[in-house]
Each structure stands twice: as C-alpha cells, then as structure tokens.
Amino acid sequence: MTEFWMELQAVDSYQVKASGILTGADRKIITMLYQPLMGAECLALYQTLFTEVEENRLWSEAHSHVQLLNMLDISLKALFEARLKLEGLGLLKSYVKTENDQRFYVYEILPPLSPEKFFSDGLLNIYLYSKIGNAQFQRLRRFFADEAFETDTYSEITRSFQDVFEPFKGGASAAEPVSNQVLVDKVAAKEIEFDDASFDFHLFLSLLSPGMITREKITKEVRQTILKLHGIYQVSEKDMPSYLYRSLDSNGEIDIVYLRKIVREGYTIENGAPPKLQMKHETSIKEEPEVKETLNDEEALQVYLESITPFQLLVDISDGAVPAETDLRVVEEVMNQQNLPVPVMNVLIEYVLLRLDRKLSKNYMMTIAAHWKRKNVKTAKEAMDLAWQEHEKYKRLQEEPATPKNTNYNRNYQKSTRKEILPDWFDKEQVTPAENKMTDKEKQTLEEQVREIKERLNKR
C-alpha cells in the first residue's frame, strides 16, 4: 500500500461526482450494514462528499482537501485510509491527474449494494457476521426483510402501455440532447469482484476430477465464489477441490450456499473464530538482519529489539509461553499513554525485567517511559544509551518507598512540602550523570539475555 503522504497532500484539489441518486434507503444500508465494516470516519467522509454535490446536480465545486480535514476533524492519514476503505468496499472511485506539479482528484460516489445482494454476497456478509455477532446480524436481516407476498391466488389485470394510450400521430421530434450534458440517473451498485492474481486456476483445474465436476460447471459465479473463499479463508488450490466435491447436491450441481457454509465452519474450527476485515498496511520488504560474529553484545541486543514486537519479546523471554494478561495490559497501557515507538518499548521492557527480577511494575515503567518521552527517544539505541546513563537514578527511584498520603494538610503546607515528595534526581542542582556501571549479577544476567537473543536470531 502506498504511503499516504506520497499520494495525497492537504493542498491537492478535489471535486465530487455523483453516480446517480442516493435514496433514503441507500443511506440506511450504508449506516446499518457498511458502517460496522468501515467505521464512523468512513461513513462521515462518504456522507460529506455526497452532501457537497448539490441537489439534482452531478458535480460539486472544486476545493482543497484542507476543507475536508477541517469538516471531518481528522488527520490526513486518517482521511487517506478512510478513502481507501470506501474504494475497497465499492462505494467510491478515485481519479487523479497532475498538471504543473499540482494534483487534481475526482471522487465518484457509488451507491451501496441492495440488502438482498449484500446478505447473499458471500464476502461482506461474512465479515459483518464476524464483526457484530449472530444476534445483531439476524436483527439486521429482519430490519431489511419483510413478509413475502404470495400472488398464486390472485389474477394479474395490469394493462400495458398500448392498452392505455393512443398511438403517437404527431410529426414533431424530440429535442436533440446537449452534447456536454449528462442526465441524472439511478445506477447499479458496484459488486466487489476478486481477481485471480493470488490463486492459480490452472493448478486448481488440473486437480479437479472431470468425472466429479466438469469444467462447464465452473461458471463465472462459481469462479468468483472460489476467489472470495480463497481471499477470506486462504483456502489453497489443493484444498479447494475437496470442498467443491462436498458441496455437490443430489443432481451433481455445485451448491454455492453450502460451499460457503462448509468452508466457513472449517475455518472457524481450525482458528477458533471467524475472519476479521483488516486493511493492508505498507510493509517494507526487508531481509531479516543477519547476526554477524563481529557484532558485540550491545549491537546484537539492539538488532533484536529493533525487529520484534513487544508481544513476541515477552514470548521469547518466557521461553515460548503466552505472556500473562496482566503483563500485556501493563505494556499496552504504557505504550498508549506515552506513545512510545515499538523498539523503545522493547528496551523499556528488557530494562525493567532486568531491574525487577523478571517482573513488570506499571508505576515504575510509566515513570521511566514519561522521562524517555520528554527526552524524545525514538530508537532502541537511544533508549539503551539513556537507560544505562540514568541507571543509578532509576535504581534510586525504584528503591524509594512510596510517600504516604496525608489528608490533613492545608494549602500552605502542601506548597512548602511539594519539593520533598519529588525524587531527588529532579533536584535543581546540577547532577553528574551516573557512570555506566553494573553489578556483577546484572552483567551476568545481561550476558545471558544477549546469548539467548543471538541463539533465537540464528534460528530464524
């Protein structure tokens, strides 16, 4: 996925084009069925773009994206991701042209699928079910459904046009249409279709037994169903034939509804939960760094902490065991509140575990994290250097007993004693940075961790 700042800038101009008329029923469909999949920001963007097109008009005026950012009160990155979601869900088409180093965008608003098409789509309805659960899913089905009207006992008496109106006898012809104008029309919704770029149909067909299923039965609808099942559940070319054999009805025809059902049930049993709809994110394709013999202990540790997630770090430290939920909550809360980069958070976890005998303390971590945030620490190396530079100060901070709260003090007493409750390394006096000295036990522990890290990297 392209980095948003390379494809979109706030100063870029845009216009909105309406593909037909959006009805009140369409708005309900977008709000009730699409919003759980794309989020409130996407819904707000869709409705804002459509509102910009005046009534009974197909085009809006040109504006810069600054207007959208101000109206929606979101960042440029959030706007770009919301646009991508609308495009992926078939609700928006985007066009761009560049003139004199300036980009001009056209956003074409598309109507949503009808409830009947949505709930029989085999793609969006599956992700909606996974998102909201069975009870809410069935409630939405009832919301967009009604009792079937049986006409078997009725006789149709509808007259045709020729039965009602006299034949045209005049000589005048209709006015010629203006060449640069397009009349407003109701257009069909764009159904989501998958390509076969990631699915080898030649291999799949070679594995399919002609005695069981002939090639003629792989219709366009069946083909799209296969591609969607591959995209959603990652069913391989080798496994797909067995699912098709099981989906054959008594007449030897492929039952698409049953095919979706058995694939969904197989995935849920294997993974424990239905699939979730997630956006693709830009991931740079990098070769995993090789740990060379020339790396010293600190460099090996730095490489490791730069290339791993906090969750995997805790797993590795626990020799493959799933981290405790309490530890994960502590790490998540510290990361969210202090907004630390992942490598810096990894260094903090390693340091705290080293200092506190393999235990995580939320208050201790939060204090150091806040200090690193103020220092604008961005990389693992910066965090490691600062950790050992401030090592003696952090030790005193951890060793200081909590100051008991006294509820019977007045404001003047609070002012006079405020300095006393601060850690002594916050004193205004100039403090000489502590030397990077560790105890023998700490050195031994660090050497053991580095040795384990090298072994894990070499196994990759």
CA distance 455 to 448: 11
What pLDDT, on the 0 to 100 scale, is given for residue 106?
93
Task: Name the pLDDT band for 1 (thresholds 50, 70, 90).
Answer: very low
Say yes or no to pLDDT of 382 above 80: yes
Say yes or no to pLDDT of 342 above 60: yes
* Residue 316 or 457, more confident: 316
Q: What pLDDT digit, counting tens, does each position of 416-457 carry?
A: 333 334 444 444 444 444 444 556 666 666 666 666 665 655
CA distance 19 to 50: 10
Which tokens hold the place of 284? 């740079």
What pLDDT, on the 0 to 100 scale, is given for residue 4?
64
What pLDDT, on the 0 to 100 scale, is given for residue 12?
87
**Half-sphere exposure (Cβ direction) of 262: Cα atoms closer than 13 Å:** 16
Task: Name the pLDDT band for 384 (thresholds 50, 70, 90).
Answer: confident
User: What percent of the chain shows pLDDT beyond 70?
Assistant: 74
Smallest CA-to-CA distance from 399 within 425, 377, 373, 374 is with 425
Say yes or no to pLDDT of 256 above 50: yes
34 contacts 89 by C-beta, under 8 angstroms: yes
Smallest CA-to-CA distance from 438 within 297, 232, 245, 250 is with 297
| Cβ-based neighbours of 255, under 8 Å, separated by 6 or more | 247, 248, 249
Point out the least confidently predicted range of 57-61, 133-137, 275-279: 275-279
Say yes or no to pLDDT of 27 above 70: yes
Task: Name the pLDDT band for 307 (thresholds 50, 70, 90).
Answer: confident
Average pLDDT, the chain: 77
Which tokens hold the place of 255? 């039952």
* Residue 276 or 32, more confident: 32
What pLDDT, on the 0 to 100 scale, is given for residue 67?
86
Q: What pLDDT digit, counting tens, does each position of 172-196 carry?
A: 565 566 666 665 556 667 777 777 7
Which tokens hold the place of 342? 């992942």
Task: Name the pLDDT band for 3 (thresholds 50, 70, 90).
Answer: low
- Decide the pairing of beta strands 13-18 and 63-64: antiparallel
Which of 83-87's residues contact partners 24+ apart within 8 Å by CB, and which partners?
83/8, 83/45, 83/107, 84/1, 84/279, 85/38, 85/39, 85/42, 85/279, 86/38, 86/42, 86/45, 86/46
Q: Is the dihedral of CA 270, 272, 276, 280 positive or negative?
A: negative
What pLDDT, on the 0 to 100 scale, is given for residue 52?
87
Section 109-134 average pLDDT: 89
* Residue 2 or 167, more confident: 167
Query: Would you list the DSSP string of 39-103?
Result: -HHHHHHHHHHHHHSPTT-SBPPPEEHHHHHHHHT--HHHHHHHHHHHHHTTSEEEEEEEETTEE
Domains contained in the chain, CATH given: 4-112 (1.10.10), 164-173+192-271 (no CATH), 297-397+439-458 (no CATH)
* Residue 228 or 399, more confident: 228
Section 32-59 average pLDDT: 87
DSSP-derived secondary structure letter, 194: -
Q: Could you give the dihedral angle defined by the CA atoms of residues 228, 229, 234 and 238, in that order, rounded to the nearest 10 degrees?
A: -120
Backbone angles phi, psi at 74, to 5 degrees: -135, 165
Say yes or no to pLDDT of 393 above 60: yes
What pLDDT, on the 0 to 100 scale, is given for residue 30?
93
